[in-house]
A and B are shown apart, each in its own frame.
Chain A
């Protein structure tokens, strides 16, 4: 499934990685940080099916829409 990535996170999450679904949000984050360690020190939010969520027990499936969003500062 495709993960939508915004802003400068595209520079970091820049290669394919494998996730076996279903997976909890917490485990998904751990996999993400394992592949892209730079993310750990970055400020970003995860939207699950277009809702920002931090409940790490939430189950993600192949059909879940996942988006990674950093804050922007430009103006």
Chain B
């Protein structure tokens, strides 16, 4: 117990709290900007079983905020790196890795196996699905989300009077209205701050010390330190599933999935490691330079709708144009035909290949 001495001697903590940590099973969904600090600190604190879900590989643009990874990890599965690094940190903690994408096929079994869930995802589809499943299975959900220099934090489905993400924001917002970190930018330190707040809430839920932030939204601005605790009420008129079927029948708006932006060649190459990936060039036929070295289908935007069948076989579609604007329009068009495919946009268009 020498390892945990500094927390064991805290007032109200002690052996009993440490045992609760050792008995806890925490699922961290997303091993990105929020997930890295959550995983790191919960592992250090002695959580018995730490699950991590992420289907992505490490890319260069992750390193600015995803602090468990280093340059040698680029191209590797994030969950494999997490397991390797955290196993060295604390052999008391069993790291269970899940390299699947969290969706309706995988979420129920995953969430059911854990006692606390931490939402470190980066898109509304997964956030709302996770929220609804945690509601159904009555699992405390530690929620944080970031935008530029601001963060939000709350805990849902906790205690005798539980609250729900849908009490705050009832419907899944249109992702096109709320840019993701990939599009809006984020400072790594803010992800670290908010992730540490999440780890703190998980620790409080498990040990019973302090007051869990349930029924309140904590907001934090890293530029001016303005922070607020805003209360909200439980809503009866919003979607709260009573059965698994309710969730399976619910729309999670897969038709307007977050479009992930690609801004470096390394990430593009990683995306192309997946099977059935196609680069769709929607520039007009006379626009230069031509793209070499990738599986390219060229269909100019004005005639895209007439050639939709050319995209039918691909699982992952990466769109590009000269500057990254027409390609975004193209994605919105194609998503209506093929809502289940994965979509990426080359943020600055063809300039990517000039680097």
Contacts and interface: CB of A to CB of B under 8 A. Distances in A.
Q: Do A and B come from one complex?
A: yes
A17 interface: no
A74 B122 contact: yes
B231 A70 contact: no
B297 interface: no
A50 interface: yes
Given A6-B219, A43-B174, A52-B231, A71 B169 contact: yes
Interface size class of B (residues with CB under 8 A): 35 or more
A72 B228 contact: no
Contact of B35 (A67, A73, A74, A75): A75
A63 interface: no
Interface string A20-36: 00000000000000000
B127 A73 contact: yes
Contacts of B120: 75
A73 B145 contact: yes
B122 A52 contact: no
B184 A75 contact: no
A5 to B, nearest CB: 11
B230 A75 contact: no
Chain A interface, DSSP helix/strand/loop, else mixed: loop
A51 interface: yes
B147 interface: yes
Contact of B124 (A41, A42, A51, A71): A71
Contacts of B97: none
Contacts of A71: 124, 145, 152, 168-169, 173, 178
Contacts of B178: 7-8, 43, 70-73
B186 interface: yes
B177 A42 contact: yes
B193 interface: no
Contacts of B275: none
Nearest to B178: A73
Contacts of A6: 150, 219
B96 interface: no
Contacts of A69: 152, 217, 219, 230
In the A-B complex, the 6 residue pairs with the smallest Cβ-Cβ separation, listed nearest first, are: A72-B145, A43-B173, A74-B181, A52-B232, A72-B147, A75-B122
Interface of B: 30, 32-35, 119-124, 127, 144-148, 150-152, 168-169, 171, 173-175, 177-181, 184, 186, 191, 217, 219, 228-233, 258
9 contacts: A7-B178, A8-B184, A43-B177, A45-B169, A71-B173, A72-B150, A73-B123, A73-B173, A74-B145
